[in-house]
Amino acid sequence: MSILSKANARKLIDKYCFSKPEEVNLLNLIYAENLVLKEEELDGCEGKIIFDSNMGIVTINKKIKEQTQKNFVLAHELGHYINEKLEATNYKLNRNRVLNLESEMEKINSPQEKNEEQAQHTVIQSGCKVKVSGFYRCSFEDFYGNNKILETDANDFAAELLMPEEWMLKAVRGKMLNGRLISDTAKYFNVSLTAAAIRYSEVGHRECAVVFSTNGTVKWSSINKEFKYQFIRPQRKASTLSYTSDFFNGNTLPNTEEEIPAEAWFNECFNIDKRDKVFEYNVPMPRYNSVLSLIWMK
């Protein structure tokens, strides 16, 4: 996790004296930080933001139905602003100009552009060149990928804002890791199961691995350094020994953890013991044809 992103989230929590999850109201926070919020149908992204050092506008995809997912998108976009606004130019936007500039930015930026290449932009406004600090279109790849520094920083900020490490440790302390714990944690922090599972893997007391699979293949994995097995090859196909293969074959996943052979995921590890068993808890994401798997030793 980015140290700076975590520190920025903590500063915001302290600034508004939040002491429990229900106090973290994303809508109020967006407005308090001088951001305009819109909701409309978006193609190719779940949320977007344009900003300078003074203000900005956040737009989230109207197609998102789950409030927990909206919360993370809002926190992610807020993360872009808080993490990067100090690097903004001296040009100041007012609310009318930021709305006009957003329209101009849409004309010169397609959803396929790389976000790191969007860190500084110049557009023509009233015959003058205007530099805008940030303009981001954040897609499924940006929220659940693992290869863009600025997007990862925004995700880290969102995780710490919605599920501060101190609060998270207190919520799971003394409790056995299982599907019920992840579900209860998600409800307590008002986040998705996916967000709760990833956050547990980062700060929880039990060593585990997180694997994200899309279209039947592994997209990325994150493994605790104390976990017995340390390698899962990217792009490998879902094993028939794992319940993820059921999902990609059109079947319903169990809503609790299930015991499976460790070799279902770690068969390519040099130290694999085929007698070992692991627990696998899967969070299906049918909208993206993806599954997030949380894995821990039996």
**In the predicted model, is pLDDT for residue 88 greater than 80?**
no
Percent of the chain with pLDDT over 70: 83
Per-residue pLDDT of 7-38, as tens digits, reads: 999 999 999 999 999 999 999 999 999 999 99
pLDDT confidence of residue 121? 46
Per-residue pLDDT of 126-182, as tens digits, reads: 333 344 557 788 887 778 776 667 788 999 999 999 999 999 999 999 999 999 999
Question: d(Cα 172, Cα 149) in Å, to the nearest integer?
Answer: 29
Q: How far is CA 14 from CA 17, 24, 98, 159, 287, in A?
A: 5, 11, 29, 16, 36
Per-residue pLDDT of 133-145, as tens digits, reads: 577 888 877 787 7
The burial of 18, by beta-carbon neighbours within 10 Å (0-12 exposed, 13-18 middle, 19 or more buried), is given as: middle
pLDDT confidence of residue 115? 45
- Determine the longest span between alpha carbons in the chain, in angstroms: 71
Lowest mean pLDDT among 37-51, 121-135, 164-178, 215-229: 121-135
pLDDT confidence of residue 104? 46
Average pLDDT, the chain: 86
Sign of CA dihedral 102, 106, 107, 109: positive
Q: Give the closest residue to 190 by CA, choosing from 18, 4, 14.
A: 18
Model confidence, pTM: 0.83
- pLDDT category at 100 given cuts 50, 70, 90 is low
Element holding 284 (H helix, E strand): strand 277-285
Are 212 and 145 spatial neighbours (Cβ–Cβ below 8 Å)?
no
pLDDT confidence of residue 132? 52
Q: Give the closest residue to 251 by CA, choosing from 294, 291, 212.
A: 291
